[in-house]
Amino acid sequence: MPDCRKILSLFLLSSLIPVLPLYAQSPVDPASGYNLIFICLDTLRPDHLGCYGYGRNTSPRIDAISGQGVLFKNAFAQSNFTLASHASLFTSKYAHSHNADRIERRLADEEITIAEVLKANGYKTAAFIHNAQQFDPKFGLNQGFETYDFAVEANRRPSIEKTLPACLKWITRHKNERFFVFLHANDIHEPYHCPDEDYFDEGYHGRLDQEYMATWPPGFHTRNLKRTKQEARHIIAHYDAGIRYTDSYVGKFFDHLKGAGLLNKTILVFFSDHGEILGERKKFFGHGLSLHDEEVRAALLFCLPQAKQQTVEEQAQLVDIMPTVLELLRIDTKGLGLEGKSLVKTFLPGSAIDEEINEYVYAGCLSGESEDNGLTDTQAMIRSRSWKLITHTWGFPADHKNIKSVQMHNGAIITAPFRNRIELYDLRKDPREINNLAGRGYADIENMLLSKLLELF
């Protein structure tokens, strides 16, 4: 059934383009009429990129591109898995607002996505996704894309070597029109299996070789609770090889855009949708479990001709991308209910920043769910540059008293009792979030962060 409110909003948006004088006195240099390209490097931890300080040479091409762009050192995803995070990115709404906060939940048709806004403003829109199941159109992330090139193969590999040629072909065909392209790469995601998988640990021979090849697609995700340090290092080498492999395709994409003369009229946004646990805490490998930094820190890089190369230390969120690019493109956002904030002032010349844009960032997830028993751990996070607070609220089925343990999607097992609880970390002293200070003498900070978090709901 068509949603009248949504149709009306999109109609009003498309008729708002002529209101350009509103922007005439803006200190920012607009990019009206530019193309827009989003490049998602799924499951990429920013601290595994050279431009974020990683020691291993995983990302020579991205590092070089970051030398021409605006790199956000402290960016955060709004959830810890693909569907919820992209739903936030595409709508500029937090997970509890758009409600696509678990795998089975479709992003509602009433939600207005950036692709729909751009389409209503005359852009050609296209998305290219290979072997990433949460982009199945049944989950609603396809809203607004006229071309939606989505496929899943039996072995769920590879990704960007399939998406990139189709994407380049489409861009060549539409290069003289205004376009919005979403390019997705899933090769960094588990099972850490890409054509260059042994790149960083060629000399390894051990039991992981057998284990890895015993499943198809090969992977380390089974029995992932029993790893020696050497094995953990080998698994991380595989993860890093996925980054190196993806990086080479990002480079090819960038070269093509440059060769086609598109870089001077295109806004490029590189980002990751969430991070990955790589042996932290109890040696898990995966995501979708917690809201610690290893899972919610995201890479974020903008490239556009008007912005000089720079690094921004301020906190940023993926929900900020939509308001940022719509401001740059001079598209009015009134009535869209965007929950993110424009980051334009942090990087365009002549922009004065009077206060921090994101004193606090937020994330949420629904974790711990088992399809068999329906136990849920709803988590919410608030983070300043100094402190982080995470709440856990358990939901129970009627017969929960008989449930002794729940297995998470990544294999972790949590045992009863399933208590509501709070985590509090002093990020300046404890950036790895090891020492939980909740209930240990920081009541003022705890209460302040809790009340700030509640303001969001």
181 in Cβ contact with 126 (< 8 Å): yes
Residue 76, CA distances (Å) to 9, 55, 249, 256, 319 in order: 29, 22, 24, 29, 9
Does 280 bind Zn ion (CB under 5 A)? Our answer is no
Interaction residues for Zn ion, span 95-124 (CB under 5 A):
none
Contacts with Zn ion by CB under 5 A: the residue count is 3
- Residue least distant from Zn ion (Cβ): 82
How far, in Å, CA of 163 to CA of 185, rounded? 8
In whole angstroms, the minimum distance from the beta carbon of 82 to Zn ion comes to: 3
Does 294 bind Zn ion (CB under 5 A)? Our answer is no
Q: Which is nearer to Zn ion, 194 or 328 (CB)?
A: 194
DSSP string, 217-274: S--S-TTTT---HHHHHHHHHHHHHHHHHHHHHHHHHHHHHHHTT-GGGEEEEEE-S-
Which value, to the nearest 10 degrees, does the dihedral of the CA atoms of residues 327, 331, 334, 336 take? -90
In whole angstroms, the minimum distance from the beta carbon of 275 to Zn ion comes to: 10
How far, in Å, CA of 198 to CA of 422, rounded? 40
Which residue in the set 10, 34, 38, 42 belongs to the binding site for Zn ion (CB under 5 A)?
Answer: 42
Does 190 bind Zn ion (CB under 5 A)? Our answer is no
Q: Is 27 helix (H, G, I), strand (E, B) or coil?
A: coil
Stretch that binds Zn ion, among 34-42, 65-73, 385-393, 420-428 (CB under 5 A): 34-42
In whole angstroms, the minimum distance from the beta carbon of 40 to Zn ion comes to: 8
In whole angstroms, the minimum distance from the beta carbon of 98 to Zn ion comes to: 16
Does 273 bind Zn ion (CB under 5 A)? Our answer is yes
Phi–psi pair at 307, nearest 5 degrees? -95, 130
Stretch that binds Zn ion, among 40-48, 253-261, 394-402, 446-454 (CB under 5 A): 40-48
Interaction residues for Zn ion, span 347-386 (CB under 5 A):
none
Does 82 bind Zn ion (CB under 5 A)? Our answer is yes
HSE on the CB side for 248, CA within 13 Å? 11
Does 59 bind Zn ion (CB under 5 A)? Our answer is no
Enumerate binding residues for Zn ion (CB under 5 A). Answer: 42, 82, 273
